[in-house]
Amino acid sequence: MTSVGIFGAGQLGRMLALAGYPLGLRFRFFDPQASPPAAALGTHVRADYDDLDAVARFAGGVDVVTFEFEDVPLAAVGAAADRVPVHPAPPVLAALQDRWDERQLLRRVGLPFAPCAPAAAAAEVSAALDQVGLPAVIKRRRSGYDGRGQRVVRSRAAALRAWHELGAAPVIVEALQRFRRELSIIGVRGRDGAVRIYPLAENHHHRGILRRSLAPAAAGAVLQATARRYVRRLLQALDYVGALTVELFEVDGGLLVNELAPRVHNSGHWTIEGAETSQFENHLRAVLGLPLGDTRPRGAAAMVNLIGAPPALPAVLGVDGVHLHLYDKPARPQRKLGHVTVYAADRRRLVPRLAAVERLIGGPPGRRTLHP
Amino acid sequence: MTSVGIFGAGQLGRMLALAGYPLGLRFRFFDPQASPPAAALGTHVRADYDDLDAVARFAGGVDVVTFEFEDVPLAAVGAAADRVPVHPAPPVLAALQDRWDERQLLRRVGLPFAPCAPAAAAAEVSAALDQVGLPAVIKRRRSGYDGRGQRVVRSRAAALRAWHELGAAPVIVEALQRFRRELSIIGVRGRDGAVRIYPLAENHHHRGILRRSLAPAAAGAVLQATARRYVRRLLQALDYVGALTVELFEVDGGLLVNELAPRVHNSGHWTIEGAETSQFENHLRAVLGLPLGDTRPRGAAAMVNLIGAPPALPAVLGVDGVHLHLYDKPARPQRKLGHVTVYAADRRRLVPRLAAVERLIGGPPGRRTLHP
């Protein structure tokens, strides 16, 4: 019986396990929290990440280790890697834990991104603004997700305030981009170097949190091909094994890379029902050295996050094409409690179903229209 | 947190749980075996079915109880029903545990089946043969599945031998049918009486065990409508809640009912990838009083059972459209270890994929051709 160890037992670990049982896998999770979402689906090793003895116990009985979030402390990942293969590999994870290192990687690989500069002192923030201009975004180099750890600033004074609010930690200062829309693409690379890439998803955020993804995104062949080229280049440059998510801005003249996530991603949840093989199954296939599955979409899908309050279940399930995914988390404001995937044979049929669902659970506030 | 109790922790319980976690459910299984397939996916109450205290403990903390096989002893089901709702209801289960009672139900509801007669003594076997003729099938009234508990006989002497081999138990003696093919249909009825019905599946058996299902079956509108009418009539007559499977023979002039199974069914496994909502999710939605999901097919699917020996995984997963489902069971001759669903956009594209998979894992022996 093949056994997979996962750092983190949140919803991503939960969905990895749900995808993995049909492959005959068993799961062990490392997570310091009590009763995390994945705990019911495997063995839960509850310990802090700096407890390397616990990490050794965790890694001891499994065939491969992976992770559901990119901020796993490198010492823990290293302790696991002393015992079993870890995918994506520790050096890859290290390269993607720091936003400035990530930008260096993009530069090396030749992918476009917004002008930016690092800063670790007030004077450096000022110097960085000279370079990138205003408005700008100040982002902590480490440990940011769902819009945390970053601030949009429109003046030098605001920039310095923001930097202090972010803990006066090392940051990058980035020119704020005017973009048409936010897109993302997920590529998966196997141990043998084979690559499979999902189509682009279009993502709608509100207050820094993903609210809705539409997939496949309405996007021409050139845009799709460009995005595919970007993710493929990264996968190869990193000798990557597993799923890699590239968040993109569509701007006049093409695509800018916004962030990389070395893992399955919220903007890929639609693949459970909307693609031939889900991102979760393909990540597992990759880290286990199995052939990758077909990433082609089936029909049209929309993913809507359930944030902060549980939805009225019977009403939501009463809409045809709705697939519910609850994470077994206590409700809390701004917390992702689950998501709904709405499926239809094509985008035209999807629009009324999505509208019906969002009337029930609340979609992202207004401005975006759905172009069928 | 809603919790579901399931009698039986085999592969059907396992797939019910995998379908239920995304709905935010938790699972408890009652099963006398050590380490059954579903044990990793919930709490396992290990006890014999005649241990009614254990049944009471099992049913104590759950919101609803259901079962994955139709031979659950009625005393156990009754003990559970004293505490929580059980669906399908105990009287329905009782009616379908006995093949002769089942035939009486079919007669009452007006559905056609092969001529048959009950027998519980040698003289009655002889009298039954006078009625139904030869060749015939002798079937134990209780506890038969996968072709166990039945014998085809071509002479009176063979019939009496068969009856003794079957333990001289109460049987039915049935006229052996010449049929074109075996089909099945699964209907689901909610607590509110709403009914959703999957399309017909075409089933290929070998040595009494299902080897392959094709779904939707190539079948005209009249045949589909007839089958739908049959399952709907049964669901309504029984005031049924949950998934009900009707196995059918296609004969000159229409359909004969072969067997009923008051549960999710091997011939419905294709619904995981091939229908908008799986039979497992819909059974759970039904027993929990939630709205039923869309039962329409997506594309064309074939399900092939993995029997007796584990397949060469990497090769099988290398075929696009393949979805593997292992049950976490030790290998044993004639044992169902898992199944593979092969999916394609249509039947024409399905045929070569299915052929590729069956070259790797062995399909049912020859005679059937696939008509795309």
Closest chain A C-alpha to B161 CA, distance in angstroms = 42
B313 and chain A: CB distance < 8 Å anywhere?
Answer: yes
CA B310/CA B254 separation, integer angstroms:
38
Structure confidence at residue B367 as a pLDDT band (50, 70, 90): very low
| Amino acid letter, A136 | A
Closest chain B C-alpha to A40 CA, distance in angstroms = 7
Closest chain A C-alpha to B145 CA, distance in angstroms = 24
Closest chain B C-alpha to A338 CA, distance in angstroms = 9
Contact B41 A24 (CB under 8 A): no
Q: Over 70: is that where the pLDDT of B370 sits? A: no
pLDDT of the residue at A362: 78
pLDDT of the residue at A369: 46
Instruction: Name the β-bridge partners of A161.
Output: none
For B:33-72, CB contacts with A below 8 A are 40-42
A290 and chain B: CB distance < 8 Å anywhere?
Answer: yes
For B:260-279, CB contacts with A below 8 A are 276-277
Structure confidence at residue B146 as a pLDDT band (50, 70, 90): low
CA A10/CA A327 separation, integer angstroms:
8
pLDDT digits (tens, 9 = 90+) for B195-246: 999 999 999 998 889 999 999 999 999 999 999 999 999 999 999 999 999 9
CA A21/CA A36 separation, integer angstroms:
18
pLDDT of the residue at B309: 84
pLDDT digits (tens, 9 = 90+) for B56-73: 999 998 999 999 999 999
- Does ipTM exceed 0.90? yes
Q: Over 70: is that where the pLDDT of B372 sits? A: no
Instruction: Name the β-bridge partners of A263.
Output: none
DSSP state for residue B268 in the 8-state scheme: G
Tens of pLDDT along chain A (372 residues) come to 899 999 999 999 999 999 999 999 999 999 999 999 999 999 999 999 999 999 999 999 899 999 999 999 999 999 999 999 999 999 999 999 999 999 999 999 999 999 999 999 999 999 999 999 999 999 999 876 666 789 999 999 999 999 999 999 999 999 999 999 999 999 999 999 999 999 999 999 988 899 999 999 999 999 999 999 999 999 999 999 999 999 999 999 899 999 999 999 999 999 999 999 999 999 999 999 999 999 999 999 999 999 998 888 899 999 999 999 999 999 999 899 999 999 999 999 999 999 999 999 877 765 444 443
Residue of B nearest to A20 (CA): B325
Select from A1, A326, A343 the Cβ nearest to the Cβ of B23: A326
A23 and chain B: CB distance < 8 Å anywhere?
Answer: yes
Query: Do residues B273 and B325 make contact, with C-beta atoms less than 8 angstroms apart?
Result: no
Residues of chain A in contact with residue B18, where contact means CB-CB under 8 angstroms, are 18, 21-22
pLDDT of the residue at A367: 46
Strand A181-189 versus strand A201-206 pairing type: antiparallel
Residue of B nearest to A2 (CA): B328
CA A295/CA A301 separation, integer angstroms:
14
B124 and chain A: CB distance < 8 Å anywhere?
Answer: no
pLDDT digits (tens, 9 = 90+) for B246-286: 999 999 989 999 999 999 999 999 999 999 999 999 999 99
* Cis peptide leading into residue A85 (ω within 30°): no
Q: What percentage of residues in chain B have a pLDDT greater than 70?
A: 97
Closest chain B C-alpha to A313 CA, distance in angstroms = 8
Provide the token pair at B6: 């399931």
pLDDT of the residue at B371: 45
Contact A40 B42 (CB under 8 A): yes
Secondary element (H or E) of residue A258: strand A254-261
Select from A23, A24, A343 the Cβ nearest to the Cβ of B276: A343
| Amino acid letter, A151 | R
Query: Do residues B139 and B174 make contact, with C-beta atoms less than 8 angstroms apart?
Result: yes
> Mean of the pLDDT values across residues B116-141?
95
**Sequence-ordered list of residues with C-beta below 8 angstroms from that of B273, at least 6 positions apart, any chain:** B298, B301, B323, B341, B343
pLDDT of the residue at A72: 96
pLDDT of the residue at A145: 60
CB pairs under 8 A between A and B: 81
For B:322-351, CB contacts with A below 8 A are 322-326, 328, 338, 343
Strand B116-119 versus strand B26-30 pairing type: unpaired
Residues of chain B in contact with residue A274, where contact means CB-CB under 8 angstroms, are none
Query: Do residues B141 and B69 make contact, with C-beta atoms less than 8 angstroms apart?
Result: no
Closest chain B C-alpha to A62 CA, distance in angstroms = 16
CA B138/CA B149 separation, integer angstroms:
8
Give long-range contacts, CB 8 A cutoff, 24+ apart: B76-85. Answer: B76/B7, B76/B30, B76/B49, B76/B50, B76/B52, B77/B7, B79/B52, B79/B55, B80/B5, B80/B7, B80/B55, B82/B56, B83/B56, B83/B59, B84/B5, B84/B59, B85/B287
pLDDT of the residue at B221: 95
Residues of chain B in contact with residue A18, where contact means CB-CB under 8 angstroms, are 18, 21-22
Contact B317 A291 (CB under 8 A): yes
Closest chain B C-alpha to A235 CA, distance in angstroms = 21
Q: Compute φ and ψ for A263, nearest 5 degrees.
A: -175, 170
Provide the token pair at A91: 């050096």
DSSP state for residue A14 in the 8-state scheme: H
Contact A325 B22 (CB under 8 A): yes
Closest CA to A94 of A67, A57, A121, A127: A67
Query: Do residues A22 and B303 make contact, with C-beta atoms less than 8 angstroms apart?
Result: no
